[in-house]
């Protein structure tokens, strides 16, 4: 039994940290969007035992710490299915530790593929709840599209799909640690927050410019280093007529939204002269 599927990256159109919860996690209010940058996940199940990961990348764990392995274990734990050797091959295209949800989308994709292979028909809600047991961004990646995420990221609201946009991504060479950045956030001291409701209204009005103008990520204000680089990338995107530009997730990738392919190509070309990890992709509806 063998299946292949694409696991799509996400961007955070806005990201607000509302409060700290008693368990140490943070209450978020973030609008997330699926984009066409993807990993390719292939799973082969044969009689036997064990979960095996092959990502072809030495810096990614190939053991049970890999989120894809956690997903497979969670699936077998819930369904009680036993007696299979599970080989997961991941062709990585999404940069890691980049704020693009690369690990989470692989985990979500593993759940969806296993659900298909074993015809368990768990459905979106059960897969989201299962995904939340091993990663805060996994529930979003089950269905994707344009969503508001609250709580740890598991309370999801479908939003009006974003009007189609070209997305230029640029990841500087440094990475940001998600737990470290959350550690720098002091909720009561946040001075500027995204206009999340304004973005939701702009989505309802199908006003891409109105969405892009309001994009904001509170993590940008607590970056311990690299803020200048983030600002330079944003400036390059805006100088090339991006409708808006912001850092995604806990960084370090910055993206700009464009309604014009030629301008997006120009921005991509200029950034590619200085940064290795640049991509020109587009928004896509739910998967």
What residues make contact with ligand C5P under the rule CB under 6 A? 25-26, 28, 135-137, 152-153, 178-179, 182
By beta-carbon proximity to ligand C5P, the closer residue of 67 and 264 is: 67
Provide the minimum distance between the beta carbon of 121 and ligand C5P in the complex, in angstroms, as a whole number: 26
49 part of the active site: no
Provide the minimum distance between the beta carbon of 193 and ligand C5P in the complex, in angstroms, as a whole number: 16
By beta-carbon proximity to ligand C5P, the closer residue of 91 and 152 is: 152
Provide the minimum distance between the beta carbon of 219 and ligand C5P in the complex, in angstroms, as a whole number: 11
CA atoms within 13 A on the CB side of 252: 22
Provide the minimum distance between the beta carbon of 194 and ligand C5P in the complex, in angstroms, as a whole number: 16
112 part of the active site: no
Q: For the packed helices 67-79 and 123-131, what is the interaxial angle rounded to 10 degrees? A: 120
Tokens (6 digits) for 283: 């928004």
Tokens (6 digits) for 252: 């370090």
Closest-CB residue for ligand C5P?
136
By beta-carbon proximity to ligand C5P, the closer residue of 135 and 172 is: 135
By beta-carbon proximity to ligand C5P, the closer residue of 26 and 193 is: 26
Residue from 137, 171, 234, 263 carrying the catalytic annotation: 137
Provide the minimum distance between the beta carbon of 54 and ligand C5P in the complex, in angstroms, as a whole number: 22
By beta-carbon proximity to ligand C5P, the closer residue of 128 and 240 is: 128
230, 251 contact by CB (below 8 A): yes
Q: Which residues are annotated as catalytic?
A: 10, 137
């Amino acid at each position: 039994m063998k299946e292949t599927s694409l696991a799509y990256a996400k961007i955070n159109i806005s990201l607000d940290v509302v409060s700290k919860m008693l368990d140490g996690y943070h209450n978020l209010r973030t609008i997330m969007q699926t984009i066409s940058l993807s990993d390719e996940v292939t799973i082969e199940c044969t009689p036997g035992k064990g979960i095996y990961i092959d990502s072809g990348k030495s810096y990614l764990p190939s053991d049970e710490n890999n989120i894809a392995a956690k997903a497979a274990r969670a699936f077998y734990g819930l369904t009680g299915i036993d007696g299979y050797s599970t080989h997961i091959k991941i062709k990585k295209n999404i940069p890691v530790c980049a704020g693009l949800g690369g690990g989470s989308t692989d985990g979500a994709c593993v759940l969806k593929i296993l659900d298909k292979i074993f015809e368990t028909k768990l459905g979106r809600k059960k897969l989201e709840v299962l995904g939340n047991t091993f990663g805060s961004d996994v529930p979003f990646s089950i269905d994707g599209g344009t969503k508001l995420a609250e709580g740890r990221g598991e309370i999801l609201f479908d939003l009006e799909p974003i009007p189609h946009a070209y997305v230029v991504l640029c990841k500087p060479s440094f990475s940001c640690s998600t737990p470290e950045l959350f550690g720098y956030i002091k909720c009561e001291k946040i001075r500027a927050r995204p206009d999340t409701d304004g973005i939701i209204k702009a989505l309802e009005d199908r006003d891409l410019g109105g969405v892009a103008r309001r994009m904001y990520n509170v993590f940008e204000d607590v970056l311990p280093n690299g803020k200048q680089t983030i600002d330079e990338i944003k400036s390059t995107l805006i100088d090339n007529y991006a409708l808006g530009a912001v850092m995604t997730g806990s960084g370090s990738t910055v993206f700009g939204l464009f309604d014009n392919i030629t301008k997006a190509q120009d921005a991509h070309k200029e950034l590619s002269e200085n940064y290795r990890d640049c991509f020109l992709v587009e928004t896509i509806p739910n998967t």
